[in-house]
Amino acid sequence: MGVKVVPKEQLADQVGTKSSSDWVTMDQDRINTFADCTEDHQFIHIDEERAAQTPFGGTIAHGFLSLSMLPKLSEGTGVVPENVVMGINYGLNKVRFLHPVRAGKRIRAHNELINVEQKDDNRFLLTSSVTVEIEDVETPALVAESLAMIVCG
């Protein structure tokens, strides 16, 4: 879909706009790197042989790795006002991890803009409902309500 740019006076009219990201592969290298960065080396993430003996049938991505992919999965999608200077991750209202992401699987995000709150002339708090889909898996990896502060020039 790409990013839809609108005059800031029309941003609130975009509530309900939906977009989807491209697919991103959650490969074992990405999982191992995340484990090293966070020092979370639980075997279900990094020990392929041992993880194969679990109900998961192999290694899985950390839930927080999947969550940390939201900025990447959201880039190039959605709605923004004209003259954006920067976007700031403002937090999350809700997050639920619904299904593990097996190493090697691809994920993508489906976003819906659910609220726009104008903070001042140049700052907008955007709330989006996000569902992270796992390719060929019915249950999503996660659902979240994500907040972004958009600053315009």
Mapped to the 3 state alphabet, what secondary structure does 64-111 carry? HHHHHCHHHHHCCCCEEECCEEEEEEEEEEEEEECCCCECCCEEEEEE
**1, pLDDT greater than 70:** no
Residue 104 · residue 130 · CB < 8 Å: no
Q: Does residue 115 sit in helix, strand or coil?
A: strand
For residues 91 and 103, give the distance between their C-alpha atoms in angstroms, rounded to a whole number: 26
For residues 136 and 71, give the distance between their C-alpha atoms in angstroms, rounded to a whole number: 23
For position 2, what pLDDT does the model report? 82
The pTM (predicted TM-score) of the whole model is 0.94
Q: How confident is the model at residue 33 (pLDDT cuts 50, 70, 90)?
A: very high
Q: Which domains does the chain have, with CATH numbers?
A: 4-152 (3.10.129.10)
- Alpha-carbon distances, residue 99 vs 17, 29, 69, 140, 142 (angstroms): 26, 20, 15, 6, 7
Kindly tell me the number of DSSP H helices and DSSP E strands found in the chain. Answer: 5, 8
pLDDT in tens, 67-99: 999 999 998 899 999 999 999 999 999 999 999
Task: Provide, rounded to the nearest whole percent, the portion of the chain with pLDDT above 70.
Answer: 99
For residues 61 and 138, give the distance between their C-alpha atoms in angstroms, rounded to a whole number: 17
For residues 112 and 15, give the distance between their C-alpha atoms in angstroms, rounded to a whole number: 8
